[in-house]
Amino acid sequence: MSGSAFHRFANPGRFLRLASRILPWLAAATALSFAVGLYFALWASPPDYQQKDTVRIMYVHVPAAWIAMFAYGWVGLCSAAALIWRHPLADVAAEAASPIGATFTFIALVSGSLWGRPMWGTYWVWDARLTSFLLLFFLYLGHLALLNAFDDRQRGRRVAAVLAVVGMIDLPIIKFAVDWWNTLHQPASVLKMGGPSIDASMLRPLLIMALACQCYFFLTTVMRMRALLLEARQRTLAYRRNTTRPRAAATMMTGGTTGGSGA
């Protein structure tokens, strides 16, 4: 056990060192890009000629939706890598990113609702775009539930990984739902053939807020990956202590802090 565990941690060890070095930079980039992004989103950009000030909801809604989908792609691809190559970091990367993706999905749903009410006259319609995006939220919840559904952590991760991979079919459905089916939701105006059809004064806050959300995603993902790896190492140490020096381990357990298992 200890031999194979050592082998498995060889790579994560390198990641842990790298993570502690890049985390301060990621934190600075996140704070800076949110500050600049919010300045443009809420102050230094004009109201839309049709949507008036509600266009400012776009600077929350669209980046949140982008990162929600990006994060699911991340979770899905990492899960595939974990299933195929059994790479120890891939499992951890998927588990760390899942709650972050779920949060962005929820933000996109809520801000979309709040935008829909004044512009469409309704908080919600059961059209293809909104329904497939709601499904994304349930995929995240299912993934998180399965991760914690088994006493055997590895088994939970494997079952959750299968769901994550299968669920990736929802991503192209969300993206193309506005083209394939009739909907209230506007079609793509940034990521489309022929370039963005949106004025620079509004594209600027949109892209800076997207950058901020992207930085936030990597910041929190790396933080959570580091936490998961340290918790795993701690479990290995506790296991080794319990098997080799039971009495020392017993005193340790009462004296030491136990790692958080929530969130």
Residues at the contact surface with other proteins, assessed by CB under 8 A? 42, 47, 52-54, 56-57, 60-61, 64, 99-100, 103, 106-107, 110-111, 114-115, 117-118, 216, 219-220, 223-224, 226-227, 230-231, 233-234, 237-238, 241, 248, 252, 255-260, 262-263
Work out how close the CB of 173 gets to other proteins at its nearest, in angstroms, rounded to a whole number.
25
Name which of 82 and 100 has its Cβ closer to other proteins. Answer: 100
Question: Helix, strand or coil for residue 237?
Answer: helix
Work out how close the CB of 15 gets to other proteins at its nearest, in angstroms, rounded to a whole number.
14
Name which of 86 and 117 has its Cβ closer to other proteins. Answer: 117
Q: Which two tokens stand for residue 240?
A: 């080794």
Name which of 173 and 238 has its Cβ closer to other proteins. Answer: 238
Name which of 56 and 157 has its Cβ closer to other proteins. Answer: 56
Neighbours of 50 (CB within 10 A): 8
Q: How far apart are CA 95 and CA 232, in angstroms?
A: 13
Question: Are 27 and 220 a contacting pair, CB within 8 Å?
Answer: no
Name which of 72 and 165 has its Cβ closer to other proteins. Answer: 72
Tell me the DSSP string of 207-251. Answer: HHHHHHHHHHHHHHHHHHHHHHHHHHHHHHHHHHHHHH-HHHHHH
Query: What's the gap between Cα 128 and its chain centre?
Result: 23
Work out how close the CB of 124 gets to other proteins at its nearest, in angstroms, rounded to a whole number.
14
Residue whose token pair is 């901020």? 212
Question: Are 75 and 164 a contacting pair, CB within 8 Å?
Answer: yes
Work out how close the CB of 254 gets to other proteins at its nearest, in angstroms, rounded to a whole number.
12
Work out how close the CB of 175 gets to other proteins at its nearest, in angstroms, rounded to a whole number.
22
